[in-house]
Amino acid sequence: MKNIVIAAGYATRLGELTKNYPKPLLKIGEKSILERMLDDIDTIPAIDEHIIITNHRFAPIFEEWALQKHYTKPVTIVDDGTSTNETRLGAVGDLLFTMNQLQIDDDMLVVAADNLLFFSFREFVDFARAKQTSCIMYHEQPSIEKLQRTGVIVIDENNRVLEMAEKPQVPKTHHAVPPFYIYLRKDFDLIRHALENGCGNDAPGNLSHYLVEHTTMHAWPMTGGRFDIGSLDTYYEACEKYGK
């Protein structure tokens, strides 16, 4: 299984802090956001490679960073060729670019690189192996306002996903979907043709939304929380809470 880290955004909401530096490599205490995530994923036996997809502006910074790190699994940096926020490929576009560029033919764990996590991805991988389907995660979100800004799912008693809506104005449940996914090889043909068949390219949840309508997917209930770093305020809050 490949670990695909989507890190090609420009983090414009963090202003000068990320104008010339990638958000995933910002430090929270002694370690960067990305390192905290990889420390966990690197211990999963099924993972055999970390692939980080970034943009042309930040690729040299990631390459220099990778030379200084020593994980048990190799780290590959992919440059998507874009240099501005206006020309970005979007999360789904970057995943397809990576799959084509590296000719990936293995199951994939796909993660966004701007979260602090308080659970192990090992549980998620074990869940997907047991279900033998592509999978997403979910957690209970009491706030309707926050549900209106994320993916929301309806599941059955076996955790099969029956419906998924991106940013619904009237959410059907409180099951919110964070940007972490497992996509199995058997769904790759659907994935590779998703954009041409109407899947949105920007938000990573667009692809799961598309797949739910075309194949069987299950949802793993997160066993711990996460902290989403999406603005200067949340970055400084993370440093204060978790960086000491």
Give 91-103 pLDDT, tens digit per residue: 999 999 999 999 9
Distance (Å, rounded) from C-alpha 241 to C-alpha 114? 16
Assess whether pLDDT exceeds 90 at residue 17.
no
Assess whether pLDDT exceeds 90 at residue 121.
yes
State the average pLDDT over residues 209-231: 94
State the average pLDDT over residues 60-72: 95
Do 103 and 140 lie in one domain? The reply is no
Side chain identity at residue 182, one-letter code: I
Assess whether pLDDT exceeds 90 at residue 105.
yes
Do 111 and 126 lie in one domain? The reply is no
Do 94 and 38 lie in one domain? The reply is yes
Domain range spanning residue 194? 119-224
Do 74 and 125 lie in one domain? The reply is no
Give 230-240 pLDDT, tens digit per residue: 899 999 999 99
Do 127 and 208 lie in one domain? The reply is yes
4: in domain: yes
12: in domain: yes
pLDDT of 174: 97
Do 143 and 195 lie in one domain? The reply is yes
Which of 61, 72, 111, 66 lies closest to 91 in space, CA to CA? 111
Q: Is the pTM of this model over 0.85?
A: yes
Confidence of residue 14 (pLDDT cuts 50, 70, 90): confident
pLDDT of 77: 98
Give 44-60 pLDDT, tens digit per residue: 999 999 999 999 999 99
Residue 63 · residue 15 · CB < 8 Å: no
State the average pLDDT over residues 169-176: 96
Assess whether pLDDT exceeds 90 at residue 205.
no
Do 102 and 175 lie in one domain? The reply is no
Give 73-90 pLDDT, tens digit per residue: 999 999 999 998 889 999
Structure tokens at 234: 């949340």
Confidence of residue 244 (pLDDT cuts 50, 70, 90): confident
Do 156 and 166 lie in one domain? The reply is yes
pLDDT of 65: 96
Do 77 and 39 lie in one domain? The reply is yes
pLDDT of 43: 97
214: in domain: yes
CATH number, domain containing residue 7: 3.90.550.10
